[in-house]
């Protein structure tokens, strides 16, 4: 709880709440164990291809990836705008951007992909500079109410704004203890994301920013690998639940033991509902 009210302090254990403060070692750990691992998952690849299709990204366009991290989405955007276009990845973390530039060079996209330091809450670009502005799994950790109008501002008339993010309470974890798993998931939603319910408000936020033809599409990336993104997320969810007092340390140990047994038996399934919401600037 905050000192001045009874409102919970959501997101205090978010890994991405303050990316500008990351050192190089921590940025690389998050980039390759989280962002790049998740980005290579077949379901994530398929979802990304579909929402980039919905944004109508094509050669020659100027496109913006807000909160780009290690540049997973920026690289795919760059491939689509080539030749003649430009994909800019923006992130508050200079360390993430160092990694993003390295990976873009490895993919031979350095002539198309450009990376800049900046905040989603005050985009360092002129009005109408882009054909498309996208934020993918970033605004749950930032201030969406300020970011969405900024994204609408920097898009030209007829351009599109898209937000792809997850619903915190929808984390799927195969586990025999239903009641305890619900407590783990709720704690993870509240404390590992600043706004775990953001996607439920996206249509309203885009409409309030003046966008038209606002639409939504749901995605459910799933994995069965114990050491994949969602296998690791399940372990971290239990750690967060214990840290915040939602479960006891004894309950954490028992829950993780049952999770490992589920994984060893080949029964693990993990995932999370994501929503893509997009609109057109009049």
Give the whole-angstrom CA distance, residue 186 versus residue 181. Answer: 9
Phi (first) and psi of residue 181, to 5 degrees:
-65, -40
Q: What is the mean pLDDT of the chain?
A: 94
Q: Is the pLDDT of residue 55 over 90?
A: yes
Q: Reduced to 3 DSSP states, what percent helix, strand and coil does the chain have, rounded to the nearest 5?
A: 45, 20, 35
Contact partners, residue 207, CB within 8 Å, separation at least 6: 214, 279
> For position 109, what pLDDT does the model report?
97
High-pLDDT (> 90) share of the chain, %? 87
Q: Cβ(47)–Cβ(219) under 8 Å?
A: yes
Instruction: Name beta bridge partners: 87.
Output: 63, 113
Question: Which H or E run contains 64?
Answer: strand 62-66
Phi (first) and psi of residue 150, to 5 degrees:
-65, -40
- pLDDT, tens digit, for every residue of 87-111? 999 999 999 999 999 999 999 999 9
Phi (first) and psi of residue 277, to 5 degrees:
-125, 130
What average pLDDT does range 115-136 have in this prediction? 97
Domain-wise residue ranges, the chain: 19-167+194-221+274-280
The residue among 126, 139, 15, 166 whose CA lies nearest residue 66 is 139
pTM of the entire structure? 0.93
> For position 217, what pLDDT does the model report?
98
> For position 4, what pLDDT does the model report?
37
> For position 1, what pLDDT does the model report?
36
What average pLDDT does range 250-279 have in this prediction? 97
Q: Which CATH superfamily is domain 19-167+194-221+274-280 in?
A: Vaccinia Virus protein VP39 (3.40.50.150)
pLDDT band at residue 8 using 50, 70 and 90 as cut-offs: low
> For position 6, what pLDDT does the model report?
44
Region of 67 on the Ramachandran plot (φ > 0 left; ψ -120 to 50 alpha; else beta): left
The residue among 209, 211, 214 whose CA lies nearest residue 281 is 211
- pLDDT, tens digit, for every residue of 136-176? 999 999 878 889 999 999 999 999 999 999 999 999 999 99
Q: Is the pLDDT of residue 2 over 80?
A: no
Give the whole-angstrom CA distance, residue 226 versus residue 244. Answer: 24
> For position 7, what pLDDT does the model report?
47
- pLDDT, tens digit, for every residue of 166-212? 999 999 999 999 999 999 999 999 999 999 999 999 999 999 999 99
């Amino acid at each position: 709880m905050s000192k001045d009210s009874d409102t919970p302090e959501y997101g205090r254990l978010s890994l991405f709440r303050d990316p500008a403060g990351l050192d190089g070692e921590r940025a690389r750990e998050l980039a390759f164990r989280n962002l790049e691992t998740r980005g290579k998952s077949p379901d994530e690849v398929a979802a990304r291809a579909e929402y980039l299709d919905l944004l109508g990204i094509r050669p020659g366009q100027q496109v913006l990836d807000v909160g780009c991290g290690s540049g997973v989405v920026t690289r795919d955007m760059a491939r689509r705008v080539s030749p003649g276009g430009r994909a800019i990845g923006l992130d508050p973390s200079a360390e993430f951007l160092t990694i993003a530039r390295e990976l873009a060079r490895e993919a031979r996209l350095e002539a198309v992909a450009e990376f800049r330091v900046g905040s989603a809450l005050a985009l360092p670009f002129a009005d109408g500079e882009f054909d498309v502005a996208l934020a993918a799994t970033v605004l749950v950790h930032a201030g969406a109410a300020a970011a969405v109008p900024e994204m609408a501002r920097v898009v030209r008339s007829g351009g599109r704004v898209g937000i792809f993010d997850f619903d915190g309470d929808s984390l799927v974890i195969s586990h025999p203890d239903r009641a305890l798993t619900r407590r783990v998931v709720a704690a993870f939603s509240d404390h590992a994301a600043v706004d775990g319910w953001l996607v439920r408000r996206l249509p309203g936020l885009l409409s309030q920013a003046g966008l038209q033809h606002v639409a939504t599409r749901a995605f459910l990336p799933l994995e069965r690998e114990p050491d994949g993104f969602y296998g690791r997320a399940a372990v971290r969810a239990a750690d967060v639940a214990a840290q915040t007092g939602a479960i006891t340390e004894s309950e954490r140990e028992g829950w993780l033991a049952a999770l490992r047994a589920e994984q060893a038996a080949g029964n693990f399934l993990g995932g999370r509902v994501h929503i893509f919401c997009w609109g057109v600037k009049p």
